[in-house]
Amino acid sequence: MSILALDNVSYTYKSRYQEVQAVKNASFSFQQGKVYALVGKSGSGKTTVLSLLAGLDLPSEGQVNFGNTSTRQLDRDKYRREDVAVIYQAYNLFPLLTALENVMYPLELKGIKAKEAKPQAAEMIISVGLTEEVFKRYPAMLSGGEQQR
């Protein structure tokens, strides 16, 4: 069974002057524990598909399903907080927070107290192959690879 699926999804951006169909009748599914790549030319709808999968937008037509539930029926704030994540090409780190504080921030948004979030964030940083040396560094002091991890 798929953990996440698009079922005949279309998405149209509408402005005052034009409509652009960014995704048309897309269907595919994702199995838990597998890694997938979404590849295509610039402007082909990759970012739009990711936004739909992450619950940032709802499709104009069709369904995005998490398990057996449409994202239209989910508490999408909770879904985005607890079930999905998107890693963008631009790393979107807070420049005035240290690496450790940047990792702690989403944990604190989930209601985890800073006292508990700090060791969890430290463990996450170590688990991706970085050392304690990066904890106190600001994003500008990290390499691109370190920022991405």
**CA quadruple 67, 72, 62, 47: dihedral positive or negative?**
negative
**CA quadruple 89, 94, 95, 97: dihedral positive or negative?**
negative
Q: Cα(114)–Cα(98) distance, rounded to whole angstroms?
A: 14
Q: Which helix (H) or strand (E) holds 59?
A: none
Q: Is residue 75 part of a domain?
A: yes
Q: Which of 56, 82, 108 is the last residue of a domain?
A: 82
Q: Is residue 125 part of a domain?
A: yes
SS3 label, residue 60:
coil
Q: Is residue 90 part of a domain?
A: no
Q: Are residues 8 and 55 in the same domain?
A: yes
* Total count of domains within the chain: 2
Looking at residue 16, its pLDDT comes to 82
Q: Are residues 26 and 75 in the same domain?
A: yes
- The CATH number of residue 52's host domain is 3.40.50.300
Residue 94 makes CB contacts below 8 A (sequence gap 6+) with 101, 102, 105, 139
Q: Is residue 124 part of a domain?
A: yes
Q: Is residue 88 part of a domain?
A: no
Q: Is residue 70 part of a domain?
A: yes
**Tokens 């985005």 map to which residue?**
80
As given in the structure block, the two tokens for residue 91 are 């790393």
pLDDT by position in tens, the chain (length 149):
789 999 999 999 988 888 889 999 999 999 998 988 889 888 889 989 999 999 999 999 999 999 999 999 999 989 988 898 877 777 789 999 999 999 999 899 889 999 999 999 999 999 999 999 999 999 999 888 888 88
Q: Are residues 18 and 49 in the same domain?
A: yes
On whether the CB atoms of residues 134 and 142 are closer than 8 A, the answer is yes
